[in-house]
Amino acid sequence: MTTVVLNVKIDAELKEKLRHYAEVNNENPGTATEKLLQLAFQLEESAGEAGVTEEDIDSQHTEEEATPLTPKEIKALRKLKKKNETTILYSQQL
Protein backbone atom coordinates (compact mmCIF):
# COMPACT_ATOMS: atom_id res chain seq x y z
CA MET A 1 0.00 0.00 0.00
CA THR A 2 1.33 3.41 -0.95
CA THR A 3 1.02 6.21 1.58
CA VAL A 4 0.30 9.73 0.33
CA VAL A 5 -0.16 13.11 1.97
CA LEU A 6 -3.66 14.61 2.02
CA ASN A 7 -4.04 18.27 2.96
CA VAL A 8 -7.58 19.39 3.74
CA LYS A 9 -9.12 22.50 5.22
CA ILE A 10 -11.58 21.70 7.99
CA ASP A 11 -13.42 23.62 10.65
CA ALA A 12 -11.35 24.29 13.79
CA GLU A 13 -13.96 22.56 15.95
CA LEU A 14 -13.78 19.42 13.81
CA LYS A 15 -9.98 19.49 14.00
CA GLU A 16 -10.22 19.65 17.79
CA LYS A 17 -12.63 16.69 17.83
CA LEU A 18 -10.21 14.73 15.65
CA ARG A 19 -7.29 15.63 17.91
CA HIS A 20 -9.28 14.54 20.97
CA TYR A 21 -10.33 11.29 19.28
CA ALA A 22 -6.71 10.53 18.40
CA GLU A 23 -5.57 11.30 21.93
CA VAL A 24 -8.22 9.10 23.56
CA ASN A 25 -7.36 6.21 21.21
CA ASN A 26 -3.58 6.69 21.58
CA GLU A 27 -3.17 7.43 17.87
CA ASN A 28 -1.64 10.27 15.95
CA PRO A 29 -4.06 12.55 14.05
CA GLY A 30 -3.06 11.08 10.67
CA THR A 31 -3.80 7.51 11.76
CA ALA A 32 -7.07 8.56 13.38
CA THR A 33 -8.12 10.42 10.22
CA GLU A 34 -7.34 7.41 8.03
CA LYS A 35 -9.25 5.10 10.39
CA LEU A 36 -12.32 7.37 10.45
CA LEU A 37 -12.30 7.81 6.66
CA GLN A 38 -12.16 4.04 6.15
CA LEU A 39 -15.03 3.59 8.60
CA ALA A 40 -17.09 6.24 6.78
CA PHE A 41 -16.60 4.47 3.43
CA GLN A 42 -17.47 1.09 4.97
CA LEU A 43 -20.68 2.55 6.39
CA GLU A 44 -21.54 4.06 3.00
CA GLU A 45 -20.99 0.71 1.29
CA SER A 46 -23.05 -1.20 3.85
CA ALA A 47 -25.86 1.36 3.53
CA GLY A 48 -25.88 0.79 -0.24
CA GLU A 49 -26.04 -2.96 0.28
CA ALA A 50 -28.98 -2.53 2.65
CA GLY A 51 -30.96 -0.77 -0.09
CA VAL A 52 -30.56 2.65 1.48
CA THR A 53 -29.76 5.38 -0.99
CA GLU A 54 -27.99 8.67 -0.45
CA GLU A 55 -31.30 10.44 -0.98
CA ASP A 56 -32.87 8.47 1.89
CA ILE A 57 -30.07 9.49 4.22
CA ASP A 58 -29.96 13.12 3.13
CA SER A 59 -33.67 13.66 3.62
CA GLN A 60 -33.88 12.36 7.17
CA HIS A 61 -34.47 14.80 10.00
CA THR A 62 -34.72 17.83 7.76
CA GLU A 63 -37.46 20.37 7.91
CA GLU A 64 -38.20 23.02 5.35
CA GLU A 65 -38.78 26.45 6.75
CA ALA A 66 -41.69 28.22 5.13
CA THR A 67 -42.37 31.82 5.99
CA PRO A 68 -45.78 33.29 5.24
CA LEU A 69 -46.03 35.61 2.27
CA THR A 70 -46.18 39.31 2.97
CA PRO A 71 -49.20 41.31 1.80
CA LYS A 72 -46.96 42.91 -0.84
CA GLU A 73 -45.95 39.48 -2.19
CA ILE A 74 -49.57 38.30 -2.25
CA LYS A 75 -50.57 41.41 -4.19
CA ALA A 76 -47.76 40.82 -6.71
CA LEU A 77 -48.83 37.19 -7.18
CA ARG A 78 -52.45 38.22 -7.77
CA LYS A 79 -51.28 40.76 -10.33
CA LEU A 80 -49.22 38.10 -12.15
CA LYS A 81 -52.13 35.66 -12.06
CA LYS A 82 -54.51 38.25 -13.50
CA LYS A 83 -51.99 39.15 -16.22
CA ASN A 84 -51.56 35.45 -17.06
CA GLU A 85 -55.34 34.91 -17.26
CA THR A 86 -55.65 37.89 -19.61
CA THR A 87 -52.88 36.50 -21.83
CA ILE A 88 -54.58 33.09 -21.98
CA LEU A 89 -57.95 34.62 -22.89
CA TYR A 90 -56.32 36.74 -25.60
CA SER A 91 -54.49 33.76 -27.13
CA GLN A 92 -57.71 31.71 -27.14
CA GLN A 93 -59.47 34.44 -29.14
CA LEU A 94 -56.84 34.22 -31.88
Domain ranges of the chain: 12-52+69-93
| Residues 42, 46, 48: CA angle, nearest 5 degrees | 120
pLDDT at 3: 84
Please state the pTM of the whole predicted model.
0.48
Each residue of 27-68: pLDDT tens digit? 999 999 999 999 998 888 886 666 666 666 666 566 777 888
The torsion angles phi and psi of 27, rounded to 5 degrees, stand at -125, 160
Q: Please say whether the beta carbons of 48 and 54 come within 8 A.
A: no
